[in-house]
């Protein structure tokens, strides 16, 4: 049985970020094992996020925008000046190419190409069993191996699922200065929440993504047909070729997260609850959380963070929003439209990041359709009480 200081299960976005923060901390001499079955040499995703500053991966930010477009379900456009914030993207491949060599250079990180079969807390340490039969132990195991659950009837389990293509036109077509962050002006089939986003890299190249917040997935042919319909009929894109495509499913759920399931095991990334239940954004939430966990490790020797009940109010807000989506109480594109129209986009971003204050939250709540959200709030609170007392 081989012993490490830290074992990181899964070398994707959160696992690699965790290792990166560790080798750049006072814990840099720790022995780290990363267990990951993939090579991580493909551009398998692009992370979009907003930020009012810079982040540790600033040097690989692929594109930055100072304003974004938002369209409600009637196709009415709002150009959002996002103030001190910037909307940014990092491409998966750039992230992997940046982080992995830095981990190798550190000399303290071992990369094992395998899958994790089981993780267990042994009392004074944690152990990880791999598919190839080895068992490793560590003071702490960071687990990012999330398994998507498709059916959770007790929870507001909605999926954010999407298919996107990077297109390149022969002639200049896109405005590279302004992405369409969310365009709900597409057919809302089955009353589901459906939208397009366009991230223009330059005048000829853009990522166009067809996205749904709903309970079940489409077939690949259906995503392709909707994308093609939008590109041809709405966007009227001239001659183009597809350079890349991506497909993803992100959980939007208020299922209670066990970020710290035991003393020596910590879940990170989507597995640790860093996916915003109301939007699916995960990148920035994960970065902020991991930096706090590493700071806590440096300070106390333990990774566990405490959050008080007041901070948890943001989870309640997310539950209410998920209830509105799941019960189809009001078109969510129009909810966001009204919120962006009556509040500064920066306030919305702070709210969605769980960093707003109560006055901003009251102002945002007042700009939602009160009756529909009131019913959703009653439903959510009633369900939570039922959970507590049964």
Among 185, 269, 277, 345, binds ligand FAD (CB under 6 A): 269
- Of 126, 113, 95, 136, nearest to 12 by C-alpha is 95
13: Cα within 13 Å, side-chain hemisphere: 26
Q: Which of 15, 179, 303, 331 binds ligand FAD (CB under 6 A)?
A: 15
DSSP code of residue 28: T
Contacts of 56 (CB under 8 A, 6+ apart): 20, 21, 24, 287, 291
Structural element, H or E, at residue 100? helix 92-106
Say which residue the tokens 């040097």 belong to: 59
For the CB of residue 278, give the shortest distance to ligand FAD in the complex, in Å: 12
**Quick one: tokens of 140?**
């702490």
Query: Both tokens of residue 90?
Result: 């990092």
Closest CB to ligand FAD among 200 and 269? 269
Residue 265 DSSP SS3: strand
14, 155, 368, 380: which one contacts ligand FAD (CB under 6 A)? 14
| Residue range at the interface with ligand FAD (CB under 6 A); choices 43-51, 67-75, 334-342, 370-378 | 43-51
- At closest approach, how far in Å is the CB of 208 from ligand FAD? 13
350 lies in the site for ligand FAD, by CB under 6 A: no
Judged by CB under 6 A, which of 13, 61, 99, 181 binds ligand FAD? 13
Q: Does 45 bind ligand FAD (CB under 6 A)?
A: yes
The answer to whether the beta carbons of residues 80 and 67 sit under 8 Å apart is yes
Minimal distance, residue 378 CB to ligand FAD, in Å: 31
Residue 245 tokens, joined: 């495509």
Binding mask 62-101 for ligand FAD (x = CB under 6 A): ----------------------------------------
Stretch that binds ligand FAD, among 44-52, 185-193, 319-327, 342-350 (CB under 6 A): 44-52
CA distance 54 to 257: 28
60 contributes a contact to ligand FAD by CB under 6 A: no
Phi, psi of 375 (to 5 degrees): -60, -40
Per DSSP, which regions of 144-228 are E strands? 158-169, 180-183, 193-200, 205-214
Per the CB < 8 A criterion, the answer to whether 135 and 116 are in contact is no
Measured in residues, the chain has a length of 390
Q: In the window 242-261, what residues touch ligand FAD (CB under 6 A)?
A: 246, 248, 250
Among 37-45, 186-194, 253-261, 342-350, the segment contacting ligand FAD (CB under 6 A): 37-45
From the list 72, 155, 253, 270, which residue makes contact with ligand FAD (rule: CB under 6 A)? 270
By CB under 6 A, which span of 12-20, 173-181, 251-259, 327-335 interacts with ligand FAD? 12-20
Is 144 an interacting residue with respect to ligand FAD (CB under 6 A)? yes
35 binds ligand FAD (CB under 6 A): yes
Cβ burial, residue 328 (10 Å; 0-12/13-18/19+): middle
Residues in contact with ligand FAD by CB under 6 A are: 9-15, 35-38, 45-49, 115-116, 144-146, 246, 248, 250, 269-271, 281-283
């Amino acid at each position: 049985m081989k012993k490490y200081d830290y074992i990181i299960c899964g070398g994707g976005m959160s696992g690699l970020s965790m290792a990166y923060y560790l080798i750049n901390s006072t814990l840099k001499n720790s022995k780290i094992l990363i267990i990951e079955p993939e090579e991580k040499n493909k551009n398998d995703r692009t992370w979009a996020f907003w930020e009012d500053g810079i982040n540790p991966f600033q040097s690989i930010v692929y594109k930055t925008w100072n304003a974004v477009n938002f369209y409600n379900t009637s196709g009415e456009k709002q150009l959002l000046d996002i103030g001190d914030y910037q909307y940014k993207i990092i491409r998966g491949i750039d992230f992997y190419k940046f982080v992995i060599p830095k981990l190798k250079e550190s000399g303290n990180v071992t990369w094992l190409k395998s899958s994790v079969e089981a993780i267990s807390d042994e009392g004074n340490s944690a152990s990880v069993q791999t598919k190839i039969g080895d068992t490793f132990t560590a003071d702490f195991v960071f687990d990012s191996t999330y398994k998507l659950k498709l059916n959770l009837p007790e929870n507001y389990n909605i999926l954010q699922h999407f298919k996107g293509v990077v297109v390149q036109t022969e002639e200049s077509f896109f405005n590279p200065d302004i992405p369409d962050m969310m365009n709900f002006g597409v057919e809302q089939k089955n009353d589901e929440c459906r939208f397009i986003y366009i991230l223009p890299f330059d005048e000829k190249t853009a990522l166009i993504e067809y996205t749904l917040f709903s309970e079940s997935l489409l077939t690949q042919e259906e995503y392709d047909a909707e994308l093609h319909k939008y590109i041809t009929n709405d966007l009227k894109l001239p001659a183009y070729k597809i350079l890349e495509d991506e497909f993803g499913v992100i959980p939007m759920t208020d299922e209670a997260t066990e970020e710290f399931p035991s003393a020596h095991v910590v879940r990170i990334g989507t597995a640790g609850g860093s996916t915003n239940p109301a939007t699916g954004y995960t990148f920035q939430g994960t970065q902020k959380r991991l930096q706090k966990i590493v700071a806590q490790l440096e300070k106390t020797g333990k990774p566990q963070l405490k959050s008080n009940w007041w901070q948890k109010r943001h989870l309640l807000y997310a539950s209410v929003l998920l209830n509105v989506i799941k019960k189809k109480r009001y078109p969510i594109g129009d909810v966001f439209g009204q919120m962006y129209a009556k509040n500064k986009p920066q306030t919305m971003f702070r709210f969605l990041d769980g960093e707003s204050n109560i006055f901003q939250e009251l102002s945002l709540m007042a700009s939602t359709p009160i009756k529909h959200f009131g019913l959703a709030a009653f439903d959510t609170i009633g369900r939570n009480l039922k959970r507590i007392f049964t």
